[in-house]
Structure 1
Amino acid sequence: MSRSTSSSTPTALVVGGTSGTGLATARLLAGRGDTVHVTGRTAARVEALAASDPGLTAHAADAADADRMAGVGDAVGTIDRLVLASSGGDGAGPLADLDLAVLRGAFEAKLWGQLTSLRTLLPRLAPDASVTFVSAISARAALPGTAGLAAVNGAIEAMVRPLAVELAPRRVNAVSPGVVDTPWWSALPEDARRAYFEQVAAALPVRRVATAEDIAETVALAATNRNLTGTVLETDGGARLVGPLG
């Protein structure tokens, strides 16, 4: 029998929860009393998380693998808060130079990962569950070199409103971060990354680059506030107010 969040300890599943925003969200929800499960793509990530965060239950599963995600659902049971934070590092670059095969991979990792996970786990969602996608500011920011990222994240955000109606009374929202200091930027050399962050911080109204913990606070709000649905919450430090950052 499905249970309500009002009568027992909520169970949260963070898909893509072994690093970055997903991990920060998992830690935050666990700290607030949820029973928290996370997924990671590799056994190595799951093993590392077991050592660093024994209070979280980790499962090795690619978000885009329906069979593996079904197994996660079987292990978790009823889900009160589903956070879809799976992502990937590809898809950026000028259109003329963009490898479309790489862009397809970016869609597979993020859009199809989040969509496949949700579709597979639908039978496990509690009647009053929340679903929170994690997209990105590129969905709406007119930044050269981000058309591929905009396509991926725009597709995710386009699902929010129709799903909020279709899945009601379950709640569906998305959180749209701007520049965040997470492992997503690890492909850049440290000095280049720090220089870019300094440039971004100087341009933003908040004068700082966000941390994963900043974004996790917004994800937790979307996941737990019972009056929010059909909404994309922008948490970009005011980037949308000042134009291109790079």
Structure 2
Amino acid sequence: MSMNTALVVGGTSGIGLATARRLHALGTAVHVVGRGKQRLDEIAETDPGLIGHRADGGDRAEIGAVVEAIGRIDWLIVALSGSEGPGPIADLDLGMLRRAFDAKFWAHLTTIQVALPQLSGTGSITLLGAISARAAMPGTAGIAAINGAVEALVKPLAVELAPIRVNAVSPGVVDTPWWSGFPEDARRETFAQFARALPSRRIATADDIAEATVLAATNLNITGTVLEIDGGARLVSLG
């Protein structure tokens, strides 16, 4: 039996990297795409089993060159995200929100379109959304719209692209580099506040979300599904 091949776009940190590591542990040939040379160099040291590629998931030519170099892909995981988007609607910078849509939604769509010819007929596409798409937290209308748009792709594409399976994973509050812009004290206090409110009483790790992402990518009976891996964030008020 030939080895499965996975491509994790946005795979050099956080949930993407944790997913790549789990897939590699299963005996998969794992390619990771990131924009930063430094992160790719670090991963070459820490995770020599992962095959790194420098490219922007939103750049058709760059991601196209990566896909062409890899050849057949069984599992495509698109874990792209950006830090822009949050803020109250009254003074939300719409130029910033357009950039945030470019960084996540349009980059997801570009990557899917470019990779499609190389996807095996029994393969899968797994997208990374966020529970903001269904939660009701003040100050998240912009990111709710972005993640809602990403997750809205799942059902129509699962039917249109069948038998290729299409799913998304929808995390809540996760301790990843997404929070690195926050001062350490503020981040710690925010996490403590969220943990008290969440039914799970804890902040997720990137690996928690990666476990679900691998399930969505590899389970032959999951398609057209958004897996809510949010610790119950959608059930309570975190605002």
TM-score (norm 1): 0.96
For residue 13 of structure 1, give the secondary structure of its aligned residue in structure 2: strand
1:216 and 2:239 equivalent? no
Q: In structure 2, which of residues 61, 86, 89 is the aligned counterpart of residue 92 of structure 1?
A: 86
| 1:245 correspondence with 2:227 | no
Q: What is the alpha-carbon distance in structure 1 between the residues aligned to residue 91 and residue 125 of structure 2?
A: 35
What is the alpha-carbon distance in structure 2 between the residues aligned to residue 241 and residue 205 of structure 1? 8
Query: How far apart, CA to CA, are the structure 2 residues paired with 1:45 and 1:211?
Result: 20
For the residues of structure 2 that align with 1:144 and 1:245, how far apart are their CA atoms?
A: 9
**Residues 1:184 and 2:184 aligned together:** no
Among 32, 36, 50, the residue aligned to 2:26: 32
Letter in 2 for 1:130: S
Hey, what's the Cα distance between the residues in 2 that align with 1:170 and 1:121?
A: 12
Task: Indicate the RMSD between aligned Cα atoms, in angstroms.
Answer: 0.7
For 2:136 and 2:200, the matched residues in 1 are separated by 20
DSSP 3-state at the match of 1:89: coil
Is 1:136 matched with 2:126? no
What is residue 157 of structure 1 aligned with on the other side? Answer: 151
Please name the residue that 1:195 is paired with: 189
Aligned residue type for 1:245: L
Q: Secondary structure at the match of 1:165?
A: helix
Indicate yes or no: 2:136 matched with 1:146.
Answer: no
Q: Given the two structures, how large is their TM-score scaled by the length of structure 2?
A: 0.98
CA distance in 2, matches of 1:168, 1:95: 38
Offset, 1:66: 0.5
- Among the aligned pairs, what percent are the same residue? 63
Q: Give the paired residue count.
A: 239
Task: Give the partner amino acid of 2:11.
Answer: G
Deviation per CA, 1:125-169, whole angstroms, max 9, x where unpaired?
A: 001111000000011111110000011000011110000001000
Q: CA deviation at 1:121?
A: 0.6
1:69 equivalent in structure 2: 63
Write the letter of the residue equivalent to 1:176.
Answer: S
Matched residue SS, 1:37: strand
1:205 deviates by 1.2
| Unaligned runs of at least 5 residues, structure 2 | none
Q: Distance in 1 between matches of 2:62 and 2:234?
A: 38
Distance in 2 of aligned mates of 1:76 and 1:168: 22
Q: Distance in 2 between matches of 1:194 and 1:213?
A: 19
Residue in structure 2 matched with residue 108 of structure 1 by the alignment:
102
Amino acid at match of 2:238: L
Structure 1 runs of 4+ aligned residues shifted over 6 Å read none
